[in-house]
Amino acid sequence: MQWGDKAYYSLNYYLRKKFGCKVFKISLDAGFSCPNRDGRISKEGCIFCSKRGSGDFAGNRKVSITEQFENIKQMMSKKWKNGKYIAYFQAYTNTYAPVRVLREKYEEAVNQEGVVALAIATRPDCLGYDVLNLLQEFNRKVYTWVELGLQTSDDHTAGIINRGYKLETFEKAVASLRKIGIDVVVHIIMGLPGENKINMMNTVKYISHQDIQGVKIHLLHLMKHTPLVKLYDVGQLKFMTKDEYIDMVCWTLCNIPSGMVIHRLTGDSPRNLLIGPKWSLKKWEILNEIDRRMKDRKIYQGIYFQNKILP
């Protein structure tokens, strides 16, 4: 296999090749908001998004970037002594502030000892000309990528989940980022309300033909205190089974380009907030089963994409 002991191009493999050592993400909360929460677009937010803006495992926004970084770094260094770090702005929309503020936050992060990369999670509709210039500036200093929450290629589903932008906006954002040499990582979610296997496959086929360098594959988690609970309470949300999800991930890996880096195969939710599916808490079981099925079926990332076979 091309990627060590995996049948797919894992982020761990990619980073080790690029930097020559183990590289960790330090998830940060810069105290930003989101236009889908503050009223510019909506006040509800995406219906699956937690009160921490999908930054439930990020640092404490009440303290500085430096303090967040050091606190998390100390925990990680107990296991890995000689690793390097990615400053990952995860919570909320991390380009949704004046450029002066963004520069100050990013600068503080990349100046931490051991930082070799900068990752920015944001929305496609929050990448104005001045923000793009800033990202280009930082990409000259340190390897920088931008993460965009597409979730689905279906604009009807996007309306149901209150994503707040059309597919056209996503495509323009990707084109703008690639024009200035910024790598793009896209988030997709399996099991969204109203979607079936065909919808999920269509999203995979869509991202496979975009200029995207990495992907994060998520299972839809139902968390307490999110708008999604309302759909669940009236029977309009059905959880994927563990078997269905693992098979969908394997299919996805087979049908995306072999050069697309796999940043995630399943997500995390805090145990105390997760309503379901409860099987998702056993993350390593899921990852190990994906590995086993790929091996048993003698399949690997890109096997069907490169042959133009879409079973």
pLDDT digits over 189-204, tens only? 999 999 999 999 999 9
Helices 129-141 and 167-179 cross at an angle (nearest 10°) of: 40
What pLDDT score was predicted for residue 175? 98
Confidence class for position 49, pLDDT limits 50, 70, 90: confident
Q: Give yes or no for residue 86 having a pLDDT over 90.
A: yes
Average pLDDT, the chain: 93
Helices 129-141 and 99-110 cross at an angle (nearest 10°) of: 20
Q: Give yes or no for residue 56 having a pLDDT over 90.
A: no
What pLDDT score was predicted for residue 82? 80
Q: In 10 A of CB 55, how many CB atoms?
A: 23
Average pLDDT rounded to a whole number, residues 118-145? 98
What pLDDT score was predicted for residue 52? 55
Domain boundaries, the chain: 11-296
What pLDDT score was predicted for residue 14? 98
b (16+ CB within 10 A) / e for 264-296? ebbbebeeebbbebeebeeeeebeebbbebbee
What pLDDT score was predicted for residue 59? 57
Average pLDDT rounded to a whole number, residues 131-145? 98
What pLDDT score was predicted for residue 32? 93
Domain 11-296: give its CATH code: 3.20.20.70
What pLDDT score was predicted for residue 309? 46
264-288 pLDDT, tens digit per residue, is 999 888 898 999 999 999 999 999 9
3-state secondary structure of 276: strand
More confident residue, 49 or 81: 49
What pLDDT score was predicted for residue 53? 43
Average pLDDT rounded to a whole number, residues 158-165? 96
Q: Give yes or no for residue 262 having a pLDDT over 80.
A: yes
Q: In 10 A of CB 308, how many CB atoms?
A: 6
Average pLDDT rounded to a whole number, residues 177-183? 98
What residues form DSSP beta bridges with 115?
Answer: 85
